[in-house]
């Protein structure tokens, strides 16, 4: 499996509250996580970093290569729930972290299938069979308005409250974790991203970049560049997993490289 990821502070934010991690050879799987933190006084970056570390640690402690799909779904759900408990506990006990939280989208991949858990509006997309498909459903105010017929998809993209999430990790004592399972095949590509990308670059262009002739790292760089060209108003994080048999290469860009923007 080929992997690449990059996170960028964007052109406006002074601090990058996004975090990403990709782990090859993770108890027989590949694990990828994106978290987009929220909260004042740098609490957002603490929440997102904690979420990444806690999900990884919890999953590593219980995950085994012989687990079936339902067991893997329970493992992903349980790990995110453990992370929620811990982040909420710290936010509740320390005034400077009050109200902190984070989105999270985590993918556990084999060569044949994906188990994806998420909270918030960070997304997972699958590029397969000549199309791109969003695998996650945003836990956001504008998505609720779309589902109720109050606004259109086009109106949602410019809605003044488009960044308001209705569910996040660490903001409540208990939280529901959405978990989905899907098959994928050789040649398919999984995209995980924060809304700093998906909020500025449409699905058609995401598909175009992911399927162009660049290598995987070049595709990640181009996706980040496109978000910056569209204004870069938020932190931008991109993870790509390509399902092939060429072996993995984890390519990472320093998460602080644009923190002085």
Look up residue 230 and give its two tokens: 């569209």
**4 neighbors 224 (Cβ within 8 angstroms):** no
CATH class of the structural domain 2-252: alpha beta
**What's residue 152's pLDDT?**
73
The full set of domain ranges for the chain reads 2-252
**What's residue 160's pLDDT?**
64
**What's residue 172's pLDDT?**
94
Task: Give CA–CA dist 99/125, Å, rounded.
Answer: 29
**What's residue 42's pLDDT?**
72
**What's residue 155's pLDDT?**
66
Give every residue of the chain whose pLDDT is below 70, as ranges: 40-41, 154-157, 159-162, 245-261
pLDDT tens profile 37-74: 998 667 999 999 999 999 999 999 999 999 999 999 99
Task: Give CA–CA dist 106/123, Å, rounded.
Answer: 9
**What's residue 79's pLDDT?**
98
**What's residue 254's pLDDT?**
41
């Amino acid at each position: 499996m080929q992997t690449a990821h990059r996170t960028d502070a964007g052109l406006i934010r002074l601090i990058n509250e996004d975090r990403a991690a990709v782990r090859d050879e993770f108890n027989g799987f590949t694990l990828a996580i994106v978290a987009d933190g929220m909260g004042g006084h740098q609490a957002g970056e603490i929440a997102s970093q904690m979420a990444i570390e806690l999900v990884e640690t919890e999953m590593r402690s219980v995950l085994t290569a012989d687990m079936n799909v339902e067991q893997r779904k329970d493992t992903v759900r349980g790990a995110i729930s453990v992370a929620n408990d811990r982040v909420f506990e710290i936010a509740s006990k320390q005034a400077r972290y009050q109200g902190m939280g984070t989105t999270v989208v985590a993918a556990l991949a084999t060569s044949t299938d994906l188990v994806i858990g998420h909270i918030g509006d960070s997304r997972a997309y699958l590029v397969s069979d000549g199309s791109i498909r969003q695998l996650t459903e945003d836990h956001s105010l504008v998505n609720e308005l779309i589902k109720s017929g109050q606004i259109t998809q086009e109106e949602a993209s410019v809605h003044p409250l488009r960044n308001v999430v209705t569910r996040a990790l660490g903001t409540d004592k208990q939280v529901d974790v959405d978990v989905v399972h899907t098959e994928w095949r050789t040649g398919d590509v999984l995209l995980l991203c924060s809304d700093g990308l998906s909020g500025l670059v449409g699905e058609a262009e995401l598909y175009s970049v992911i399927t162009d002739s660049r290598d995987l790292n070049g595709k990640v760089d181009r996706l980040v560049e496109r978000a910056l060209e569209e204004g870069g108003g938020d932190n931008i994080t991109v993870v790509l997993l390509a399902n092939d048999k060429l072996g993995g290469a984890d390519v990472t860009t320093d998460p602080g490289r644009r923190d002085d923007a």
